[in-house]
């Protein structure tokens, strides 16, 4: 019998986590593109938009993780 993949926790919590994980992955990818080509204005602009999200009230409603902390950690990875 195949194992069933069950997510634990509240559906809203899972959605909030998925939003944050996707934003973090996008931010990391954009930082890498900007590092590779500093003249890539589009990548820089999109990365700044995600930084604004990490500093927003909506982000704070989704998680208790400090947005500034997350930005620093993601930047350190690049």
Specify the 3-state DSSP secondary structure of 35: helix
Residue 75 contacts residue 31 (beta carbons within 8 Å) = yes
Measured between alpha carbons, how far is 32 from 28 in angstroms, rounded to an integer?
6
- The single-letter DSSP state of residue 63 is -
The whole-number pLDDT of residue 43 equals 96
Query: How many Å apart are CA 53 and CA 45, to the nearest integer?
Result: 13
pLDDT over 80 (residue 8):
no
Residue 76: per-residue pLDDT: 96
Q: Which two tokens stand for residue 66?
A: 């400090």
What pLDDT score does 1 carry? 38
pTM: 0.84
Confidence of residue 4 (pLDDT cuts 50, 70, 90): very low
- In tens, the pLDDT along 12-71 reads 999 999 999 999 999 999 999 999 999 999 999 999 999 999 999 999 999 999 999 999
């Amino acid at each position: 019998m195949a194992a069933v993949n069950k997510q634990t926790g509240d559906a809203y919590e899972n959605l909030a986590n998925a939003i944050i994980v996707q934003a973090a992955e996008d931010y990391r990818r954009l930082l890498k593109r900007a590092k590779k080509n500093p003249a890539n204005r589009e990548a820089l602009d999109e990365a700044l938009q995600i930084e604004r999200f990490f500093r927003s009230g909506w982000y704070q409603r989704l998680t208790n993780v400090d947005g500034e902390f997350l930005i620093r950690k993601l930047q350190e990875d690049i």
